[in-house]
Chain A
Amino acid sequence: MSADMLPLITKALGETAYMVVVSMIISSLVGIPLGVLLHTTSKGQILECMPLNRIVGTVVNAIRSIPFIILMVAIIPLTRLIVGSAIGTTAAMVPLVLASVPFIGRQVETSLREIPYGIVEAAQSMGASPLQIIYKVLLPEAMPNIVAQLTTVIISLIGESAMAGAIGGGGLGDLAIRYGYQRFRPDIMIATVIVLIIMVQIVQFAGNKLAKQLDKR
């Protein structure tokens, strides 16, 4: 272990945390409504609209079928358009968000589908509007599941952020490749891996705990 290691790891950890947290917030803000849209427009649901459901579903599937490393490279022009550069921590967030939004969308859709339709029907019988059903019935009822699934999304974002790091995004992945692999520093490689393991453990633990607390079934 050398003296330069601690600042290197702290800086990389900060970059990873920044990428993951900001991408997660943006992806959730887009992904959760996407999941609600996918669910409520499907057959027999409150805003049934099969044409829209099919189009959105196809786009979601298309993005989800592209491996992250290819998606990252393929959308470089788009990244440049949005961020102004294709390199750097902020630039790395564009593909991270693009990959996470459909992932969250499908996860949320699955959670919503598990809610018995009877509960929605009961709300309708009390005069609830579709928006009220979404905010007061569907989302609260699915929240324990949604939290559990967003935990999974955060963990896969941590993994993807390491990949993004490898093409100039910074963060722990970048550190492990540049120092651990290219400069033959197994100590840094091992330290990075340990930090990643701890991060994932903490996220999973916190997610489980929160989901359990919300679950009243």
Chain B
Amino acid sequence: MIDLSHIEKTYDSSAGPVHALKDISLHIDKGEIFGIIGLSGAGKSTLVRCINLLERPTKGKVSVNGKDMTAMSESQLREARKNIGMIFQHFNLLSTATVFDNIAFPLQLSNTPKDKIKARVTELLELVGLADKAEQFPSQLSGGQKQRVGIARALASNPDILLCDEATSALDPQTTKSILELIKDINQKLKLTVVVITHEMQVIKEICDKVAVIDNGIIAEQGDVLDVFINPKQPITKEFISVLLSNDLPVDFRDIDISSEPFEDSILLMRLTFIGETANDPIISNLVKKYNVDADLFFGSLDDIKGSPFGRLIIGMNGSQADIHSAIDYLKEQKVKVEVIGYVSRHASSHH
């Protein structure tokens, strides 16, 4: 659907050339919601603008639907852009036009007959839940409503692709949720390919199928959202995830010695991650029943990533080395991710 190959973007500034994007290659499949996450200045906004060529890459090739966007003439490019809707952080609506006229705008650009415009805009107003706001001006709407108008406008010319540039960053958490729901909804209803640019892992977690982490103009890491959440490889990715899922140990264990070797009265501290169905299975009680080990639970959380249950536990295991090893093997067999933290004194958490 969308293929970026070896994209580079360099700006000239008074302080010399700035390399905003350095050799970025991405492949985005039809119908998926692809998230691109990065800190401000990482180059993510430039990258998304390279897809519809609002920014022309200095080097590299952008192909959408198999057509090379970088080789197009200005007028071919304008036609191609009608197939790529875009929504923005600050909505970018016409302040002097009503909601109806804002949504009608892309249709007016291509000289659609008036009755067809009316039918299409009415349909879109229904889709985004603003049927009663047609004659209002943007200044009379809330942020969430403005973004709904933005979405309706972006969908007006029936695009295959929707680019979302920090579309929820100016909205409060509740409104963010409802806008993300809407995006997910239209992705499924209209089989739209969606590219989401954000600095919030929450957005990725809620709606994305795949994610690419951009840092300093390069893709640090990419893959299925669930895989990246479970096995983040790069420090930057871990940092993004830690905002949502804390990796801190429970308070009692933060200031004590953690040993890599067992000692008298020690327990083995480990972090377990469950994904999908296993998150609902009674694995720990099975573990204790089947193997001659004790397992103390110190921390537990259950979350979900795009509909998949995602559980995390920190347990302290006590037993013979052999039993502990077989218990860990059992956990791995059950597709539980096991991270061994180390041995701590059993009394560290005595007041629990």
Contact = CB atoms under 8 A, between A and B. Distances in A.
A123 B81 CA distance: 10
B109 A136 contact: yes
Interface in B148-185: 153-154, 157, 163
Contact of A127 (B82, B90, B95, B139): B82
A51 interface: no
Contacts of B191: none
A144 interface: yes
Nearest to A124: B54
A26 interface: no
Given A116-B90, A118-B90, A216-B139, A126 B106 contact: yes
Interface string A142-158: 01100000000000000
B137 interface: yes
A141 B97 CA distance: 9
A126 to B, nearest CB: 4
A127 B79 contact: yes
B328 interface: no
A119 B78 contact: no
Contact of B96 (A122, A128, A216): A216
A129 interface: yes
Contacts of B109: 123, 126-128, 132, 136
Interface in A168-217: 214-217
Query: Which of A126, A136, A144: most chain B Cβ within 10 A?
Result: A126
A84 interface: no
B20 to A, nearest CB: 15
Contact of B88 (A118, A129, A143): A118
B234 interface: no
Given A136-B108, A216-B139, A125 B54 contact: yes
Nearest to B106: A126
Contacts of B106: 126-127
Given A214-B96, A216-B96, A216-B137, A126 B105 contact: yes
Given A127-B110, A216-B139, A137 B94 contact: yes
A119 B86 contact: no
B52 interface: yes
B321 to A, nearest CB: 62
A136 B90 contact: no
A136 B84 CA distance: 20
Query: Which of A124, A143, A217: most chain B Cβ within 10 A?
Result: A124
Interface string B85-104: 11010101111110000000
Nearest to B137: A216
Query: Which of A127, A137, A140, A215: most chain B Cβ within 10 A?
Result: A127
Contacts of B79: 127
A121 B163 CA distance: 13
A137 B106 CA distance: 12
Interface string A92-135: 00000000000000000000000010110111111111001000
A136 B105 CA distance: 9
Contact of A122 (B78, B82, B92): B92
Contacts of B82: 126-127
A141 B95 contact: yes
B86 A125 contact: yes
B81 to A, nearest CB: 4
Nearest to A137: B94
Interface string B54-95: 100000000000000000000100111110111010101111
A121 B95 contact: no
Contacts of A141: 94-96
Please list the 7 inter-chain residue pairs (A to B) with the smallest Cβ-Cβ separation, ordered nearest first.
A122-B92, A125-B86, A118-B92, A126-B106, A127-B78, A127-B81, A216-B137
Interface of A: 116, 118-119, 121-129, 132, 136-137, 140-141, 143-144, 214-217
Interface of B: 52, 54, 75, 78-82, 84-86, 88, 90, 92-97, 105-106, 108-110, 137-139, 153-154, 157, 163
Given A116-B92, A140-B97, 6 more contacts: A125-B81, A126-B157, A127-B79, A127-B106, A216-B97, A217-B96
